[in-house]
Structure 1
């Protein structure tokens, strides 16, 4: 473990101030002081050295962007890094738990084979789906099929979690109405 002794001019808050103004060397010193511990923390959560390295790099990328835009930590740099790394590692672990691994080729073939809808309602559902705006189709697919939560989608959609939830509710209602209208036409 590398222990860095901070001098009067190189304490973390002074280095953060320098990094905020674009000093790459200052951010490098901050990086070197915390990266090894951050890797260890990420590895404890994800149990994969390569994924842990990627998560640490992603955390530092986000932190550097935040610092350069005037946001991010103003003190307690190492605590901020550790919190960011842990948040990313837990999110990564959650997405990996949805991954299914199998050596069974027949299962793989069934999973990638096109789904044949034999139901007469399939055409009605497809027609109702096509009447929805693309944004509503997207939010319904992400929430109902891909199982994302509104909180996970909020940053991607530049909305609050409540706004995403409200959008999904309106989209479900519109799909229901469109489905009933298609049934009446059929």
Structure 2
């Protein structure tokens, strides 16, 4: 009986909507998407290796669980997770390149590690002075 009364009391509470939430809810979702951004995203996705495209399609677009994608691709779960991580990072890098409009570098390989992308170009050795 005590739980029933508590449930009724909780159910009777009113939700207070702040101005910020009301403004967010009233925003029109009918706004057209940014065509340049979508175009850059498509170019970036198409510039990725086929394996990366496949794993991104299943894990992000189709929202399939890693275990099911692993079965589809004939891989271990851990391998699919790692491949998806690398593919997302590669897509991020390719999108940044495509968004700048530098199409000739869109197929360049992503950094070998996340830390490599954090090193500014000025801090990397010059090819002429590299051993």
TM-score by length of 2: 0.50
**Higher helix fraction (1 or 2):** 1
Select the structure with the greater relative contact order (CA < 8 A; seq sep ≥ 6): 2
What is the TM-score normalised by the length of structure 1? 0.36
